[in-house]
Amino acid sequence: MEFTQLLTARYSVRAYKNTPVEEEKLHKILEAARLAPTAANRQPFKILVIYTPGREEELQRIYSRNWFVQAPIVICVCSIPHDAWSRRDGKNYADVDATIAMDHLILAAANEGLGTCWIAAFSPEDARDVLQLPDNWEPVAFTPLGYPADEPRTKNRKPLEELVRFEK
Ligand SMILES: Cc1cc2nc3c(=O)[nH]c(=O)nc-3n(C[C@H](O)[C@H](O)[C@H](O)COP(=O)(O)O)c2cc1C
């Protein structure tokens, strides 16, 4: 898909078909995340690919909306702050790096005709427990990955003038 068209086409999908995601498409999407830039190229993130069938109940502890487990796959991106670059004032960029990787993944999914939805309102405690995350992995965001069963909505965004300040 042409890039501007892709940015317009991606939307938060909140209903999914249970049609399986082709291995080849999954690989392309994960590869897009792998190519994401990270501060000092530290790549301080992990991507968990969770196959939904049979795990619906425990996954619903992490995020309770029913559409969370409709898709055949749920993806979780974790940051590893200990491995990440920090600025001199101490600001750690692990979450920024993990977020860029997730955004690459989400845009690549849209490019393959697949739906996703950023999820931050999950329970980190349940995510740690259900996914048996090592202590130094920080779950940053989840998304289902599957074919959409809903329709895109009109994008509601602030005008550029409100978002951009051109410095003289
Ligand atoms: C960091 C982040 C966290 C989000 N968390 C949630 C969430 O927990 N649940 C949800 O339904 N949508 C979540 N969203 C989706 C936003 O509501 C959505 O992106 C926004 O309303 C714009 O709509 P669009 O994605 O369809 O363009 C999140 C989006 C981002 C970027």
Residue of 102, 118, 150, 157 with the most ligand 1 atoms within 8 Å of its CB, for mutation: 118
Any idea what the CATH number is for the domain that residue 82 is in? 3.40.109.10
Cβ atoms of residues 99 and 140 within 8 Å: yes
Helix (H, G, I), strand (E, B) or coil at 20: coil
Point out which residues pair with 92 in neighbouring strands: 86
- Residue-wise pLDDT for 20-66, tens only, equals 999 999 999 999 999 999 999 999 999 999 999 999 999 999 999 99
Range of the domain at 139: 3-163
pTM: 0.97
Cα separation, 38 vs 31, in Å, equals 15
23-34 and 94-111 are packed helices; what angle lies between their axes, rounded to 10 degrees?
140
Q: Is residue 146 in some structural domain? A: yes
118 CA distance to ligand 1 centroid (A)?
5
Cβ atoms of residues 79 and 136 within 8 Å: no
Number of domain units in the chain = 1
Helix (H, G, I), strand (E, B) or coil at 154: coil
Residue 149 tokens read as: 């069963």
**Helix (H) or strand (E) segment spanning residue 49:** strand 45-51
Q: Is residue 168 in some structural domain? A: no
Q: Is residue 12 in some structural domain? A: yes
For ligand 1, which residues put their CB under 6 angstroms from it? 11-12, 117-121, 155
Q: Is residue 92 in some structural domain? A: yes
Q: Is residue 54 in some structural domain? A: yes
Q: Is residue 9 in some structural domain? A: yes
Residue 13 tokens read as: 């999908």
Q: Is residue 109 in some structural domain? A: yes
Residue 67 tokens read as: 């559409």
- Residue-wise pLDDT for 109-151, tens only, equals 999 999 999 999 999 999 999 999 999 999 999 999 999 999 9
Q: Is residue 19 in some structural domain? A: yes
131 CA distance to ligand 1 centroid (A)?
22
